[in-house]
Amino acid sequence: MTNSRRQLSTALKLGLVAGMAAGWMCAAAPQAAQAQSLALTGYKQAVAESLSEDEGMAAFYRARGFEPIWTSADDAATARRAALIQALSSAGQHGLPARRYDPVSLLARMRAVRSDRDRGQLEIELSRAYLQFARDLSGGALDGRRIDSGIKREPARRASEDLLEALATGEPRAVFRDLAPKTPEYTRLMREKLSLERVIARGGWGAPVTVGKLDPGDSGPGVVILRDRLIEMGYLKPTLSARYDDALRDAVLAFQGDHGLEADGVAGSSTLSAVNVPATERLKSVIVAMERERWINFADGLGERHVLVNIVDFHARIIDDGKVTFETRSVVGHQDPDRRTPEFSDVMEFMVINPSWYVPRSIVVNEYLPLLRRNPGAVSHLVITDSRGRRVNRGNGFAQYSAASFPFAMRQPPGPKNALGQVKFMFPNKYNIYLHDTPSKHLFARGQRTFSHGCIRLGDPKDFAYALLALQTDDPEGFFASRLRGGSESRVNLEQPVPVHLIYRTAFTQAKGRVNYRADVYGRDAKIWDALAAAGVALGGVES
């Protein structure tokens, strides 16, 4: 235990928080009655002078005539102080940067109060500490947009006035309990964090497997190491067998399923690479996932029905009342920086059956224009149009145009070979990202499916459409088929728009079963972990 933690533990045991009010009231001056008669002018002046940085906090204190919520001598203020210190001391349990809150220094400040002015300054300091912690725990300690350009989420920040009002009128411990996300996902991630910390404290999962491949029927030292590692991970019951038997094969199959690997029961290079990832790295993934869960801790939730796309899991799901009611494989953006699928939330409003593909400008000038400059007849499946929508005569050539001067648009009409397939699902956004069908069905058989320009391709788009349409028609398949037979573009509005959440989780949980892990294909989680570590987040179970 560090010296600061010992100080905090001792302070709490001695009841310094509970007795602090009496201490500063006695130390302020021997003429307490006289100080009270002066209406604590020094206190109010100190409070007023310290409120310029946060208008919400200023509004809260002005509305209550600058009366304190932390530094009065009543039982309510004492309870708030005790709850604050206890909450701040537990920040590490949530994977938050504990040094950001420093409860030991706050206790020292409490002991150092000697005047009403000191008390006013302390009042604001405690409120600032509370607001910082409350926002970090409820909405995230980081602004992801500053970490990676593909993270488009604006931090969900509750207003200072609302947070302070909740504390002033509520039971303090209950207020602090209500700050963290109440989702089952967050609860299960916290449970996995504690489990991994225990694993790390006892030395991890054992030696790594150093052979290149192990097959069912094999035996020897490599099999023993794999066996022992899977036993430590909870995939295999304790056994002394040195053979790659059926029990070990079943354990490998379960491991492969939980890590998004081809489930063939063979411990090949990809499987062994995942098996060898140390517990400390898995813990980093979990802590980052907890931070990401705080980013989507929306006041009204994700929606009773919503679409959830985990970019690195390569699946899209429809969630109804917390349960997966539809699931399909997906293809997401390539790892190239300008093709990666961004993270954001929006609302799906409609689908388009028999869509045209309006080629994004970046693809037009970067991929197709060089071909057209050499051969005006290239990419003949695309229609080139001017600003009025009129077809351009390719015979005039395009050699005179650069990427900056090319004045035309390009479109692929509806048809069986259209890049968007037979249907696209629109949640209009400034990133021009949507879900859609594709004629390239073979890509869904791949394990890592990073092939698109950023949009999300669906493995079963028709079934996805049926699931959405089922809420507004008794025959969703017949309805879809009739529009499809028409051959022309057909917009179908959703009577109940559906929230869509594009997330990025290298660690995520299941209602039943183990935590799943995926590769950090865009390197975003590594950046987030570095930012959390720089802010002071530490790995529990690791000796300092």
Q: What is the pLDDT of residue 15?
A: 43
| Cα-based angle 194, 196, 198 (whole degrees, multiple of 5) | 70
pLDDT > 50? residue 26 = no
pLDDT tens-digit map of 318-349: 999 999 999 999 999 999 999 999 999 999 99
pLDDT > 70? residue 19 = no
Provide mean pLDDT across the span 255-263. 96
**CA distances for 514 relative to 257, 258, 271, 517, angstroms:** 10, 7, 17, 10
Q: How confident is the model at residue 8 (pLDDT cuts 50, 70, 90)?
A: low
Q: How confident is the model at residue 285 (pLDDT cuts 50, 70, 90)?
A: very high
Q: What is the pLDDT of residue 156?
A: 82
User: pTM higher than 0.85, yes or no?
Assistant: yes
> Which residue has tokens 């201490």?
23
pLDDT tens-digit map of 173-182: 999 999 999 9
8 Å CB contact between 267 and 252: yes
Q: What is the pLDDT of residue 53?
A: 78
Q: What is the pLDDT of residue 30?
A: 43
Q: What is the pLDDT of residue 317?
A: 98
Q: Which residue has the higher pLDDT, 350 or 540?
A: 350
Q: How confident is the model at residue 257 (pLDDT cuts 50, 70, 90)?
A: very high
pLDDT tens-digit map of 405-453: 999 999 999 988 899 999 999 999 999 999 999 999 999 999 999 999 9
Strand partners, 345: 501
Find the farthest-apart pair of alpha carbons in the chain and give their distance in angstroms, rounded.
98
C-alpha–C-alpha distance, residues 315 and 329, integer Å: 4
Which ranges of 456-538 does DSSP label H, i.e. alpha helix?
Answer: 461-469, 476-486, 524-535
Q: What is the pLDDT of residue 10?
A: 44
Lowest pLDDT segment from 229-233, 290-294, 299-303? 299-303
If DSSP codes are grouped into helix, strand and coil, which group holds residue 31?
coil
pLDDT > 70? residue 213 = yes
What share of the chain in percent tops pLDDT 90?
85
pLDDT tens-digit map of 136-162: 999 999 999 999 999 999 988 899 999
Provide mean pLDDT across the span 284-289. 98
pLDDT > 60? residue 291 = yes
Read off φ and ψ for residue 510, nearest 5 degrees. Answer: -125, 150
Q: What is the pLDDT of residue 18?
A: 45
